[in-house]
Structure 1
Amino acid sequence: MKALLLTCLLVPWLVSASARRFNQDSQLIPGSLIGKELSGYFNDQDYLKSRKAKRALPAGVDVMADEPDDSPIPEGGDASDLPTCLLCVCLTGSVYCEEVSPDMTAVPTLPKETAYLYARYNKINKIAAKDFADIVTLRRIDLTGNLISEIEDGAFSKLTLLEELSLAENRLVKLPMLPAKLISFNANHNLLKTRGVKATAFKKLTKLVNLFLADNQLEAVPQIPESVRIVHLQNNNITEISTDTFCKGNNTYYLRPNLNEVRMDGNPVLLAKYPNSFTCLKSLPVGRYH
């Protein structure tokens, strides 16, 4: 009877002790399932606590150096310190920097072989003489939709291959000297007045085909090269024209077959008052006649 009673007491105690021993060993033995689960659980909890603690820290307080920083570049940052081809898309001969974030406020440093630059809709406010000084391979520059109000003298002087230049939708009040081989020039939607555009600004551009100066504040029509086919001057402040504006007043036989599209709508000038000003053209300019 005593032996039976002793057995009933010892067996549960031995089973309980074995179970405790198994649990302790499983945490210590590498590769054991229970050890992995428990270890992972505690590691996850520690990680979550550290992340919560990091978010709770005041701004400017440093955290563990070995934890990766996954926060985005702050919106107020400047793109000038970052490599161009990290901010933009660089393909062979072409650089695309459109609506860059963080804000791009200056012309980026370009690869030496760049032929085409598209830097539209950024916050570039100035073109410096050094910006394109070393990129003589440029054929097209599109800076539409920036905040450009100043272009330094000689900014385009070394671009002997440049054929297309767009400065549309900026804040220009005057034009710089333009490259001689331009085929297309677009300065629509700026703040240009006649005093900011020399009468001879386009005279030496003997290959110019498209000239876009719409939506400015011009009071007169600048001299237009013989090569031009399309000229847009709509929505300016042009009040009058002369027989020499498009034709040659002293030569009644002079014809101008290339110039086939002239837009002057949205100007105060009444074109019907100047019938002898269009005798050399194939078609009448678009504008107000009555």
Structure 2
Amino acid sequence: MKALLLLTLLALCHAKPYKPINVMDFMKNNDIMQQDAGDDDDDDNDDYDDYDDNFDSNCPEWCRCSKRVLQCSDQGLTKVPKDIPANTVLIDLQNNDITEIKEDDFKGLNNLYALFLLNNQISKVHPKAFRNMDKLKILHLSYNELTQIPENLPKGIQSMRLHDNKISRIPKGAFKGMQDLNVLELSANPIANSGIEPGAFDDMATLYLRIAESKLTAVPSDLPSSLNELHLDYNKIGKLEAEDFLRLKSLQRLWLDFNQINYVENGTFAGIPKIREIHLDNNKLKKVPPGLNTLKYLQVMYLHANRISYVGVNDFCPLRARVKKTLYTRISLFANPVKYWEIQPPTFRCISSHNAVQLGNHRK
């Protein structure tokens, strides 16, 4: 269940421009109706078929109700509806004109599991708006006008999406105590390195972090050590240093494409021994980064659209034949000024098949 939820949330993270979430499909794929552990109702499987049945006669105006789902998307609402039934597990308020989340908008909704507020005009969230929402796991606030991260977020959130806002600062302790976070999406916000305060990610754990399309000029320091996947693509990072990834021992996938990287310090990747996939395409590298041949589990390496003119015989594979290495399934080197006919045959001795390497002429 957790793996399925994570895959679904990751798929949603790249939705740009705004694409509405099909709430009913989301519920079915993630068994939302089964999330209320305190509900012993044996008829949960019928909730999807009863979508047009009201909670009671007081379903909020302009909304559609099922037993525990409130859908009010695309209604031109300027504020959160009142009198939402207390047993609600999912609220869909996508694509409205809501400008503010007030203190009591979600008061008493202690069973809420998912809250979709995408594509509104929200610029302000009251510090107590999410109080007592201990069961909230999914909070999506993307495509709004937020200038700061909401305060006092529920600790149990698993998916937090804040991309495409106007957030420029991540204060110390912004995600304090969030140990169950699977996905944190902060892309397309004007976040610079100076806007990430020391301790911004203290006392939190997340598997997936994306700060793409921002104003980063270097890899942020003190990133969560729990990370499995890190996306810093479409920034202005100029170089990678040995200290950048020292804390990320569990990192398996790294996106640094579409930056301005022209230098990778020796030992930079030594701190991420479990890495399986690295994206360094569309940068300004003049040579293959050092240390790739020491990464035991590396299978996918994207280096296309750089300025690499030479590939050494030991750039990718271990020096010693007896050293165990997971075979590469993809090495891309096309759109570089390298003369591929000069590359020595043993250079790719640790690939899974000849189709795993992508070469080609450099075209201006």
Q: Same fold (TM over 0.5)?
A: yes
The one-letter code matched in structure 1 to 2:250 is K
Structure 2 CA distance for partners of 1:238 and 1:147, relative to 1, 3 Å: same
Q: 2:168 is matched with which residue?
A: 105
Structure 2 CA distance for partners of 1:164 and 1:135, relative to 1, 3 Å: farther
CA distance in 2, matches of 1:240, 1:263: 14
Equivalences for residues 70-149 of structure 1 within 5 A: 79-80=147-148, 83-84=150-151, 92-100=157-165, 103-107=166-170, 109-113=174-178, 115=181, 116-126=183-193, 128=196, 130-149=198-217
Q: 1:190 is matched with which residue?
A: 259
* Offset, 1:288: 2.1
Equivalences for residues 1-290 of structure 1 within 5 A: 79-80=147-148, 83-84=150-151, 92-100=157-165, 103-107=166-170, 109-113=174-178, 115=181, 116-126=183-193, 128=196, 130-151=198-219, 154-156=221-223, 159-175=224-240, 177-178=244-245, 179-194=248-263, 197-222=264-289, 223-224=291-292, 225-248=295-318, 251=321, 256-274=325-343, 275-284=345-354, 285-288=357-360
Task: Kindly provide the CA deviation profile for residues 182-215 of structure 1, in whole angstroms up to 9, marking residues without a partner as x.
Answer: 0111001000012xx2132112322111111110
Do the aligned residues in 2 keep the contact of 1:90 with 1:96 (CA within 8 Å)? no
* SS at structure 1 position matched to 2:358: coil
Structure 2 CA distance for partners of 1:72 and 1:151, relative to 1, 3 Å: closer
* SS at structure 1 position matched to 2:258: coil
CA distance in 2, matches of 1:207, 1:151: 19
Identity of aligned pairs, percent?
18
Do the aligned residues in 2 keep the contact of 1:229 with 1:260 (CA within 8 Å)? yes
The one-letter code matched in structure 1 to 2:359 is G
CA distance in 2, matches of 1:84, 1:205: 32
* Offset, 1:124: 0.7
Normalised by the size of structure 2, how large is the TM-score? 0.50
CA distance in 2, matches of 1:248, 1:237: 24
* SS at structure 2 position matched to 1:185: strand
CA distance in 1, matches of 2:346, 2:259: 31
Do the aligned residues in 2 keep the contact of 1:105 with 1:123 (CA within 8 Å)? yes
CA distance in 2, matches of 1:193, 1:117: 28
- Aligned-residue CA RMSD in angstroms? 3.1
Gaps of 5+ in 1: 1-70
Structure 2 CA distance for partners of 1:79 and 1:161, relative to 1, 3 Å: same
Structure 2 CA distance for partners of 1:79 and 1:273, relative to 1, 3 Å: same
Structure 2 CA distance for partners of 1:91 and 1:221, relative to 1, 3 Å: same
Structure 2 CA distance for partners of 1:96 and 1:133, relative to 1, 3 Å: closer
Task: Kindly provide the CA deviation profile for residues 24-82 of structure 1, in whole angstroms up to 9, marking residues without a partner as x.
Answer: xxxxxxxxxxxxxxxxxxxxxxxxxxxxxxxxxxxxxxxxxxxxxxx9969xx9814x6
* SS at structure 2 position matched to 1:203: helix
Do the aligned residues in 1 keep the contact of 2:212 with 2:234 (CA within 8 Å)? yes
Do the aligned residues in 2 keep the contact of 1:256 with 1:282 (CA within 8 Å)? no
CA distance in 1, matches of 2:320, 2:205: 42
The one-letter code matched in structure 1 to 2:206 is L
Do the aligned residues in 1 keep the contact of 2:155 with 2:178 (CA within 8 Å)? no
* Offset, 1:91: 7.3
Task: Kindly provide the CA deviation profile for residues 114-153 of structure 1, in whole angstroms up to 9, marking residues without a partner as x.
Answer: 523101111111164624441331222111111111345x
* Offset, 1:164: 0.9
CA distance in 2, matches of 1:282, 1:255: 14
* Offset, 1:112: 2.2
Bigger RCO of structures 1 and 2 (CA < 8 A, at least 6 apart): 1
CA distance in 2, matches of 1:281, 1:289: 21
Do the aligned residues in 1 keep the contact of 2:310 with 2:339 (CA within 8 Å)? yes
- Structure number with the higher helix fraction is 1
Do the aligned residues in 2 keep the contact of 1:180 with 1:206 (CA within 8 Å)? yes
CA distance in 2, matches of 1:137, 1:73: 27
Do the aligned residues in 2 keep the contact of 1:78 with 1:105 (CA within 8 Å)? no
